[in-house]
Structure 1
Amino acid sequence: MGGHLPATVAAARNAVRAAVPRGSFVLVACSGGADSLALAAATAFLAGKGELRAGAVVVDHALQEDSAAVAAQAAGQVRALGLSPVLVKAPDVGGAGSEAEARAARYAAFEEALEETGADHVLLGHTLDDQAEQVLLGLARGSGTRSLAGIPAARGPYLRPFLGLRRAQTEAVCAHEALDYWTDPTNLERGPLRNRVRLDVLPVLEAALGPGVAEALARTATLARADADHLDRLARDALGDLLLPVAAPGCLALDLAGLRALGPALRGRVLRAAVVRLGGENPTLERIEAAERLVDGAGSAGPVQLAGHVAAYRERPDGPHGPARRALVLEGTAPEGRTGDRETER
């Protein structure tokens, strides 16, 4: 198209340019919605300039009657933009399928697409609005700094270039590029909590506090993620310092005195890191508090059941480490090395 380039289109292209390493081979995850189609258009423009190589992956969850037609239309539009290869995946979600099941199937399809094509990254179309919703959900759960950190801009092969753009901007990009985007009717249902946050909570906050609430929540996520990442690095270092030798496989022993000396911001993170190292999922706050009571010597010596088939107990004074190096022992039945710290934001 000739004429003046709209600022929204330039912003979308620059967002992809900033997020994707030059020369990368990427796949745009495209649902047919405005966000992912706008991402496909911006990425295709950069591919046309030789800045990167780009294909796409379209996932049909088959959870709605017209899902196959939506997937076919999305695939056709991204092919017309010049993306290649374009893979259409139809994973088996199983019956009605929950949001979590659909998400797991979607990421499994992305992993397959990465393996089949040899692509470096999958680009996801989450926007600043998604980020604001995620922060509000984290506040509602009371889950701490990591939950307030929201959706990561990059994790593993997954990149989210549009976390600084609003949904209205992606719709404007689609209008400029003459792309016919699909609106998922389930996004208008008020049953799911995320939808109520989007449709009811954020508009009320904007009306009461004035414009800019979503941007402020997104800034909160950026700051919280930096803090959480730093504390998690300190916790991993502390865990390494506190480990005691153990003879049994699938066990970790942590120096009890050293654990007690840690500040509260680190101690819970060290315990979480230990559980994850044994193959468990991140424990809830309730389970971590129970483990911390073990550390403090309150109540029984355990065991306390933590997430992912991991249990913790205080070693007796006459245990293998002796009274001078009493230990908190964690035993896991999950396979060693399996990580529970998988991407859970969206």
Structure 2
Amino acid sequence: MMDSVKSWMQEQKMLQDGEAVLVALSGGADSVSLLYYLKEQSRTTGWNVSAAHFNHHLRGEESDRDEAFCRDLCQKWGIPLQISDADVRGEADRSGESEEQCARRLRYDFLQKAAAGSKIATAHTLSDQAETVLLHLSRGAGLRGICGIPPVRENIIRPFLRITRDEVEAYCKENSLLFITDSTNTRREYARNRIRLDVVPVLQDIHPGFLKSMDRCTAWLRDIKEFLEQQTQDVLTKACTQNGYRVEELLKHPPAVRREAIMELIRRAGGQAQALHVEMVEDLLSHPGGADLSGKVRARQKDGLLQVQPVHGKEPQWMEPIPLKEGTFLLPSGIQMTVEAVGIDEKENFNKMLFNNAIDCAKIMGTAMIRRRMPGDRFHPAGRGCGKSLKKLFQEAGVPLEQRDLIPVVCDEEGILWVSGFGPDQRAAIGAGTRRLYRFESVRR
């Protein structure tokens, strides 16, 4: 089993020798096995392995038991451990999220802070993958949802995504690994538990190779998704005007591309691209009017133009300029910004789309900063003609006035290096001589 994990990690380029990795440790069989595996492999790879545990305080004394178990385990194995906690129920009430959504957000925020830019390893298995895909299918998810859990996303890696939960538990038994069990795992009021306990066994009875088949299927779907996303960017570029997206252009394209374009617009506006919301926007393409999408996003079609925009209560505020550094952090504007410095050889599979979100480190002049737009800013988009003022660029791209001050801009002492959504400046673009780069991602939270 572990030979399979090793090959999978190499195939996905998850970790380089000597690299630091933080394991998300719950105390369950999956995360204990992952921590043990990485610890043992570090003897030959030089990985700097540490762990982090987040106490959600959702299960009373059992939550505290989990924390104590993780403390004792890491002390026994000599592994550095970081611990944090939160009142998830209280925070969920304040934010309007479900407890599950809130717990996930708080947990990953903590993990990113604890990792400080290094890799984060989570112990998701092929069994988790199958449950996730089935759950998303039951809710009418689009292509992104049924692709399941990605093996690598930003600095998050999932070494166990090709092996099953049964294989993990066998590994625990083989190595005499102790672990704890979440008592809520058997409660059928949770949809995921019902899928794991009732649905998956039936599918495995029908086809014993169900989980491995699901693995192949999600891999194919991820390839299709990547192609479709590239097509979508082309469609949105053609349809974009100063005041919205031309309905006539959107309707020229096949339904699959059109729906993906709608989902991308909803995500850009800070919404969740659920099937119902996509149908509502599709209906607007044929019938002018407006639609509220879950209270966070509003779509409108008027005079042949489609607009999909966030609904703001209190407008987010921008911060003072901050130094460019690695890590993931939430800006006061409501934008989550991820900055990663990598060697070009570490990103052999970088495609053109990803290069549009990167700059050459060697071309930075002086101190680089992240800031909002400033009067007089000029930008020369790499490979796209002459330079122009940032104000004019935003106008031509149809960026709503109220959003223009929220867009992250990376600059140095010579001017703009990169603009979120528009890519690098010509002088900072990746070239044949690039050896090290900064890669960026920004999403509205």
Partner of 1:290: 280
Partner of 2:146: 148
Compared with structure 1, are the counterparts of its residues 163 and 229 closer, same or farther at alpha carbon in structure 2 (3 Å cutoff)?
A: same
2:93 aligned with 1:99, yes or no? Answer: no
Compared with structure 1, are the counterparts of its residues 51 and 240 closer, same or farther at alpha carbon in structure 2 (3 Å cutoff)?
A: farther
Partner of 1:249: none
Assess if the C-alpha contact under 8 Å between 1:34 and 1:171 holds in 2.
yes
2:308 aligned with 1:330, yes or no? Answer: yes
Assess if the C-alpha contact under 8 Å between 1:25 and 1:119 holds in 2.
no
When structure 1 is superposed on structure 2, of 94-103 and 123-132 the one drifting more is 94-103
Compared with structure 1, are the counterparts of its residues 215 and 63 closer, same or farther at alpha carbon in structure 2 (3 Å cutoff)?
A: same
Structure 1 Cα separation of the partners of residues 254 and 207 of structure 2 = 38
What are the equivalent positions in structure 2 for 1:230-269 lying under 5 Å apart? 230-246=227-243, 253-269=244-260
Compared with structure 1, are the counterparts of its residues 262 and 92 closer, same or farther at alpha carbon in structure 2 (3 Å cutoff)?
A: same
SS at match of 2:53: strand
When structure 1 is superposed on structure 2, of 32-41 and 54-63 the one drifting more is 54-63
Structure 2 Cα separation of the partners of residues 119 and 46 of structure 1 = 21
1:155 is displaced (CA, Å) by 1.2
Partner of 2:263: 272
Compared with structure 1, are the counterparts of its residues 268 and 307 closer, same or farther at alpha carbon in structure 2 (3 Å cutoff)?
A: farther
| Deviations 1:15-53 (CA, angstroms, capped at 9, x unpaired) | 455552213211001111110011001111122224321
Structure 2 Cα separation of the partners of residues 139 and 313 of structure 1 = 28
1:95 is displaced (CA, Å) by 5.7
Compared with structure 1, are the counterparts of its residues 201 and 135 closer, same or farther at alpha carbon in structure 2 (3 Å cutoff)?
A: same
Partner of 1:68: 64
2:303 aligned with 1:303, yes or no? Answer: no
Assess if the C-alpha contact under 8 Å between 1:25 and 1:54 holds in 2.
yes
1:144 is displaced (CA, Å) by 2.8
Assess if the C-alpha contact under 8 Å between 1:13 and 1:45 holds in 2.
no
2:41 aligned with 1:51, yes or no? Answer: no
Structure 1 Cα separation of the partners of residues 3 and 274 of structure 2 = 43
Assess if the C-alpha contact under 8 Å between 1:25 and 1:52 holds in 2.
yes
Compared with structure 1, are the counterparts of its residues 196 and 330 closer, same or farther at alpha carbon in structure 2 (3 Å cutoff)?
A: closer
Partner of 2:168: 170
Structure with the largest fraction of helix: 1
Structure 1 Cα separation of the partners of residues 86 and 121 of structure 2 = 19
Partner of 1:28: 23
Structure 2 Cα separation of the partners of residues 210 and 311 of structure 1 = 44
SS at match of 1:164: coil
1:79 is displaced (CA, Å) by 3.9
Structure 2 Cα separation of the partners of residues 119 and 171 of structure 1 = 31
2:33 aligned with 1:38, yes or no? Answer: yes
Structure 2 Cα separation of the partners of residues 18 and 86 of structure 1 = 28
Compared with structure 1, are the counterparts of its residues 308 and 24 closer, same or farther at alpha carbon in structure 2 (3 Å cutoff)?
A: farther
TM, length-normalised to structure 1: 0.82
1:63 is displaced (CA, Å) by 2.1
Percentage identity across paired residues of the two chains: 31
1:218 is displaced (CA, Å) by 2.4
Partner of 1:339: 443
1:88 counterpart (67, 83, 91): 83
1:136 is displaced (CA, Å) by 1.4
| Deviations 1:231-265 (CA, angstroms, capped at 9, x unpaired) | 1222122212211124xxxxxx1122211212111
Assess if the C-alpha contact under 8 Å between 1:312 and 1:329 holds in 2.
yes
Assess if the C-alpha contact under 8 Å between 1:12 and 1:39 holds in 2.
no
Assess if the C-alpha contact under 8 Å between 1:281 and 1:339 holds in 2.
no
Compared with structure 1, are the counterparts of its residues 39 and 222 closer, same or farther at alpha carbon in structure 2 (3 Å cutoff)?
A: same
Assess if the C-alpha contact under 8 Å between 1:235 and 1:266 holds in 2.
yes
Structure 2 Cα separation of the partners of residues 255 and 95 of structure 1 = 43
1:185 is displaced (CA, Å) by 1.1
Compared with structure 1, are the counterparts of its residues 139 and 242 closer, same or farther at alpha carbon in structure 2 (3 Å cutoff)?
A: same
SS at match of 2:179: coil
Structure 1 Cα separation of the partners of residues 235 and 135 of structure 2 = 30
Assess if the C-alpha contact under 8 Å between 2:24 and 2:53 holds in 1.
yes
Name the aligned partner's letter for residue 153 of structure 2: R
1:280 is displaced (CA, Å) by 2.3
Structure with the largest fraction of strand: 2
Q: Tell me which of the two structures has the higher relative contact order, counting C-alpha pairs closer than 8 angstroms and 6 or more residues apart.
A: 1
Structure 1 Cα separation of the partners of residues 207 and 293 of structure 2 = 43
Assess if the C-alpha contact under 8 Å between 1:311 and 1:330 holds in 2.
yes
SS at match of 1:49: helix
Structure 1 Cα separation of the partners of residues 177 and 11 of structure 2 = 23
Partner of 2:412: none
Assess if the C-alpha contact under 8 Å between 2:289 and 2:302 holds in 1.
no
Name the aligned partner's letter for residue 114 of structure 2: A
Compared with structure 1, are the counterparts of its residues 311 and 63 closer, same or farther at alpha carbon in structure 2 (3 Å cutoff)?
A: closer
Structure 1 gap segments, 5+ residues each: 1-7, 247-252, 317-325
Compared with structure 1, are the counterparts of its residues 9 and 258 closer, same or farther at alpha carbon in structure 2 (3 Å cutoff)?
A: closer
1:163 is displaced (CA, Å) by 0.6
Partner of 1:187: 185
